[in-house]
Amino acid sequence: MGCKKLFLLKLIMMFLFIGSCKKSRQKVEITSDSFKKQNVSIKEGLVISKENGEFKAYKTKEVIEVDGVGKESIWGNVPWYEMNYKWMGETVDSSDYLGKFKLAWDNKHLYILVEVIDDYLNETLTNGKDNYWKGDYVEVFIDEDKSGGDHKFNHQAFAYHVSTEGHAIDKSTTKETIFLDDNVKVERTRVGSKYLWEMAIKLYDSTFDENSKYNIPVKIFNNKLIGFSIAYGDNDGNNRRENFMGSKKYHGNNNDDGYINSDVFGSILFVEE
Ligand SMILES: [Ca+2]
Ligand SMILES: [Ca+2]
Ligand SMILES: [Ca+2]
Ligand SMILES: [Ca+2]
């Protein structure tokens, strides 16, 4: 074989090798969401983004203590998901805002661990109850039966504005701003500009009555599917929501339909393994 032919052969083999490396890397990234089945260990620093906002929550065998500390083993065993799609505001750098979350469940609760880097924490209710959406907060959108549809002043779906003060704020059927604190338990811890919010959320169907103390939560089970999105409203002391960053690429008109229309939510599939 002449030198030229040998060189060409080597070149072809090199391209084939690079191609196969790329493929195997892609495979790890795609399968990392179903890490347990694939027995793929979670890579340090891996955060999965889901343009369509469709996530999985894994069942915890251990009781989760809502204390803002992710010490429970499930939190070490499930992947981080991104909540960095820009819904509103200017592009931010990672010291101003960067967010990710994990999901888990048992029969009574959806658990969420949210880690947010925020350079300035502006308490949610600084400007009063009716400006709750202007302060820093985590917004959790839940549509228990994934029916979709309008939910602005009804409870077929919820847009919980989880406040820095520990409240879960939404609108009532009479268009008032109300606290639904029994529905969402939250604790937050801080290390520097990194905040960890741990939440336990009860799911309710459309029969939820905001004036009753006797609402019965819906039981969660394997393979149940709900409507879900999560976002962070970032105010850095300028008296307004400077950024709104979410878990799904698009969230309706101006990415601001979530508090009105549950059609735009992504989803959670509850799985055991
Ligand atoms: Ca905990
Ligand atoms: Ca910020
Ligand atoms: Ca619904
Ligand atoms: Ca802030």
The CA distance from 102 to 29, in Å, is 17
Q: Looking at the CA of 146, name the nearest ligand.
A: 3
**Considering the chain, what is the average pLDDT of its residues?**
89
**Which of the given ranges, 23-32, 37-46, 243-252, has the highest pLDDT on average?**
243-252
Tell me the pLDDT tens digit for each residue of 47-62. 999 999 999 999 999 9
Residue 244 CA to ligand 2 center (angstroms) comes to: 10
Give 87's contacts (C-beta < 8 A, 6+ positions apart): 231, 244, 245, 246, 251, 255, 256
Global pTM reads: 0.86
Q: Calculate the dihedral angle through the C-alpha atoms of 254, 260, 263, 268, rounding to the nearest 10 degrees.
A: 100
201 Cα: distance to centroid of ligand 1 (angstroms): 14
3-state secondary structure of 10: helix
Q: How far is the CA of 234 from the centre of ligand 2 (A)?
A: 5
Give the number of the ligand closest to the Cα of residue 189.
1
Q: Evaluate if residue 239 carries a pLDDT over 90.
A: no
Tell me the pLDDT tens digit for each residue of 60-104: 999 999 999 999 999 999 999 999 999 999 999 999 999 999 999
**Residue 52: how many CB atoms within 10 A of its CB?**
10
CA of 228 relative to ligand 3 center, distance in Å? 11
**Residue range 156-213, pLDDT digits in tens:** 999 999 999 999 999 999 999 999 999 999 999 999 999 999 999 999 999 999 999 9
The closest ligand to the CA of 196 turns out to be 1
Query: Ligand 4 is a single-atom ion; what residues have CB below 5 A from it?
Result: 118, 120, 136, 234, 236
Smallest-distance ligand from the CA of 235? 4
Q: Considering the domain 38-271 in this protein, what is its CATH number?
A: 2.60.40.1190
Q: What pLDDT is recorded for position 20?
A: 45
So what's the pLDDT on residue 10?
Answer: 64
Q: Give the ligand at the shortest distance from the Cα of 207.
A: 3
